[in-house]
Amino acid sequence: MSCGLSVAEDRLMSGADRTERQEGEARKVDDRSAIGAHIVLAAIQKEGEEELKRPPSALAWSGLAAGLSMGFSLLGEALLRAHLADAIWRPLLTKTGYCVGFLIVILGRQQLFTENTLTVVLPLLDRRNLATLVGVAKLWTVVLAANLAGTFVFAWFASSSGVFDDHMLAVLGDVAREAVPTSFGLTLLRAIFAGWLIALMVWLLPAAESARVSIIVILTYLIGLGNFTHIIAGSTKVMFAVLIGATSWSTYFGGFMLPALVGNIAGGVAMVAALGHAQVKSGEDHAVK
């Protein structure tokens, strides 16, 4: 009798062990699996909802800080150029400096137009009502104005404070002149690519975990190396060019700011936010059917 109980107990324990082992293996599979698109969408949408609830004053101060921080993309690129030989490979290294401003802004959770402002599009796509549209428009306006104010302050300080010597000012001027637009259409197309890449970064970051820095560097490096037009990073450069007399304010507003704004919004919203939202919602609708 005792032997029978012992065998039964052994079998029961073996079954329990097998169940525990299977559950452990399932957990390992879950840990190693990439999170689904619906989870990424939910994380970004939650962030967008929180951004829409922030008061305008908080958005403005954070946006001003982001505009100032983005000036370090100009400075980082210029510092590298100033210390490297003029060779065909030099842009491959100098454009790493372009990533500096983005790293400061994104890791510092500052409000950047085309980055934080894209997250609020998802609540709008989900609800599609006037109240959300007004909230998105208000947030975009406050953040954009604050970002541009910050870029102007940085460009003015860099060009007029005397903190940089003549050689460094000349290098800053060379970097800034490269961003001066030559064609409305070309600037628009380049801005679409920049908006696309920034929005892809927004989509990738929730699942990045320890790779956040790598994703930010890789994608913003592509923007810099491809001379794609980002309205905030580019504004620091073009404003610096205006302040040193290399171009005019009319060129900045009509030839740079307008196409950059339209292109960044089109690339970010239409190509990623809408498509990312659509793929998840389409999958949910199919699952329900």
**CA 272/CA 289 separation, integer angstroms:** 26
> By the 8 A CB rule, do 184 and 255 touch?
yes
Position 288 confidence tier, pLDDT thresholds 50, 70, 90: very low
Every domain of the chain and the residues it spans: 1-33, 35-288
Degrees (nearest 5) of the Cα angle 108, 112, 117? Answer: 120
Mean predicted lDDT score pLDDT of the chain: 85
Strand locations in 62-205 (E): none
pTM summary value: 0.82
Both tokens assigned to 66:
């982001």
State mean pLDDT over 7-27.
55
| CA–CA distances in Å: residue 16 to residues 11, 22, 89, 173, 187 | 9, 10, 62, 72, 65
CA distance linking residue 231 with residue 67, whole number of Å: 11
pLDDT for position 121:
85
Lowest mean pLDDT among 24-33, 37-46, 176-185, 214-223: 24-33
CATH number of 35-288: 1.20.1080.10
Tokens 């980055």 identify what position? 115
* Tokens (6 digits) for 39: 């989870």
